Amino acid sequence: MPAVSMTVNGKPATADVEPRTLLVQFLRENLRLTGTHVGCDTSQCGACVVHVDGKAVKSCTMLAIQAEGANVTTIEGLANGSQLHPMQEAFREHHGLQCGFCTPGMIMTAVDMVNRKGNELDDHTIREELEGNICRCTGYHNIVKAIAAGARSMGTGGARKAAE
């Protein structure tokens, strides 16, 4: 089995994997980082979104071996110790989740959105950008509110971009 090495949440991670191992399997099963979820496994739902070299990707649609040498951030890497990342805090504050299954992907997508589009996000932009993330519970309203608020508080300091 080929070896794969990458940096995950700031720490080196190396393993021998079958080539068909998906990045999400590597994260969940080899590294036991189970915050990244598998909702569909068909590239539709976004529950598996992580950042690879600073960009949001669906980790169910990437081979672990494609991430060789990459810098990967998962939901576990956002908080700064016990201090939540501003986007996590905003989801809590604005009830941006119910069952929480979609939430890790929503938050990773939201942080990527802020990195690309800035701290002032209107509802239309947020909804367009959430095209690849599906939530079965909330009806999205509070997710949109949480992202707008989280984006703003990322701009005013806080634990900005904690581990990235």
Partner 1 sequence: MYAFTYHRATGLRQAGNMLGKLEDSKILAGGQTLLPTMKQRLASPANLIDLGKVDGLKGIELKGRSLVIGAMTTHSEVATSPVVQQAIPALAELASMIGDPAVRHMGTLGGSIANNDPNSDYPAALVGLGATVITTKRRIEADAFFTGLFETALEADEIITKVSFPVPKKAAYMKFRNPASRFALVGVFVAKRSSEIRVAVTGAGASGVFRVPAFEEALKKRFSPKSLEGLSIPATGLNSDIHGSAEYRAHLVGVMARRAVAKAG
Ligand X SMILES: Cc1cc2nc3c(=O)[nH]c(=O)nc-3n(C[C@H](O)[C@H](O)[C@H](O)COP(=O)(O)OP(=O)(O)OC[C@H]3O[C@@H](n4cnc5c(N)ncnc54)[C@H](O)[C@@H]3O)c2cc1C
Residue 72 as a binder of partner 1 (CB under 8 A): the answer is no
Coil vs helix vs strand at 52: strand
Other beta carbons within 10 Å of 95? 13
Nearest distance in Å: CB 113, partner 1: 7
Between CA 87 and CA 106 the distance in angstroms is: 10
Contacts of 29 (CB under 8 A, 6+ apart): none
In the chain, % helix, strand, coil (3-state, to 5) comes to: 40, 15, 45
Residue 29 as a binder of ligand FES (CB under 6 A): the answer is no
Q: Which partner in partner 1, ligand FES, ligand X, none is near 47 (CB below 5 to 8 A by kind)?
A: ligand FES
Return the residue of 38, 80, 132, 164 that touches partner 1, per CB under 8 A: 132
Beta bridge partners of 52: 55, 72
- Alpha helices for the chain (secondary structure H): 23-25, 86-93, 103-117, 123-129, 141-155
> Toward partner 1, which CB reaches closer, 30 or 80?
30
For residue 137, give both structure tokens.
């519970």
Site for ligand X in 12-71 (CB under 6 A): 43-44
Q: Which partner in ligand FES, partner 1, ligand X, none is near 131 (CB below 5 to 8 A by kind)?
A: partner 1
Nearest distance in Å: CB 107, partner 1: 14
Q: Which partner in partner 1, ligand FES, ligand X, none is near 144 (CB below 5 to 8 A by kind)?
A: none
Coil vs helix vs strand at 2: coil
Residue 118 as a binder of partner 1 (CB under 8 A): the answer is no
Between CA 147 and CA 153 the distance in angstroms is: 10
Q: Tell me the site size for ligand X, rule CB under 6 A.
A: 2
Binding site for ligand X (CB under 6 A): 43-44
Binding site residues, ligand FES, CB under 6 A: 38-41, 43-48, 58, 60, 97-102, 135-138
